[in-house]
Amino acid sequence: MGGGKGGSDFDPKGKSEAEVRRFCQSFMTELFRYIHPSTDVPAGDIGVGGREIGYMYGTYKRLTNRHGEGVVTGKSLLFGGSPFRPEATGFGLVYITKLAVEKQLNKSMEGMRCAVSGSGNVAQFACKKLMDLGATVLTMSDSNGVLFFDDGMTKEDFNKIMDCKNVQRGRLSELDGKVSGEYMDGQTPWTIRAPMDIALPCATQNEVGEEGAKTLLENGIVVLAEGANLPTTLEGQEVIRSKPEIIYLPAKAANAGGVGVSGLEMSQNAQHLTWEAEEVDQKLQKMMKDIYTMMNENKGEAGTLEDGANL
């Protein structure tokens, strides 16, 4: 659990619900032989959310005649999922960012101008928690372009994006003129030149390159917190490290909330229980606090939080 990556070359864009379902069923028809709560436990990622997990888990149950096993995580609450699993990665990212801002900068998240990339599960819930904390969310993006909210995303904007992505399965370009922000075709949050405090790349691997990192420095960021897996290239990392005063929270620490709550989902499956959402949220907050504490304690006197995470 949480140790590797796998997937397929099936592109769900433009596919019908039936085509996605048939692919997921076929994929699990081959995969089910190799997964088990004690062997390998897949979970969702880019292009794989609750819908796809549901199709695959349903196929697993049909093929094995087993129910209630923690053999995949991110399941619906209707068949063994955990409260707060969809929110876990994005919320956990913001929890650890909040701790770093408070402890390292002696500041509050309120009013912080935050650039978020992506518009999938991680980005959605990172934006939600940022707004809950009073931060100003400047961007969300997909592979075609970015929505830029210079005055901050509103809750109405957020709800429209959630509907576009989770119900309509559409592109952000379809919201141009329907939200308070400006849609910029072909752009990313890391090509926009505007004042920023915190960058949270939540889209995909290698999205923040050398030029993007330089733009972030020019925009005045004080924190880079990674929600996606390895979103900053080696060259981008070197640019960020050239300014040791910038707080860099690498993905292996900052986005650990997702796999952590996957573990909690397996625990609930093993006990045949479903915990209350508040209990899972408290455990997630403690998990991220413990990770931050370990990073801080292991960084040494002259080290950074990244150094602490590496140790």
Q: What is the 3-state secondary structure (H, E, C) of the chain?
A: CCCCCCCCCCCCCCCCHHHHHHHHHHHHHHHHHHCECCCECCCCECCECHHHHHHHHHHHHHHHCCCCCCCCCCCCHHHCCCCCCCCHHHHHHHHHHHHHHHHHHCCCCCCCEEEECCCCHHHHHHHHHHHHCCCEEEEEEECCEEEECCCCCCHHHHHHHHHHHHHCCCCHHHHCCCCCCEEEECCCCCCCCCCCCEEECCCCCCCECHHHHHHHHHHCCCEEECCCCCCECHHHHHHHHCCCCCEEECHHHHCCHHHHHHHHHHHHHHHCCCCCHHHHHHHHHHHHHHHHHHHHHHCCCCCCHHHHHHC
Residues known to be catalytic: 5
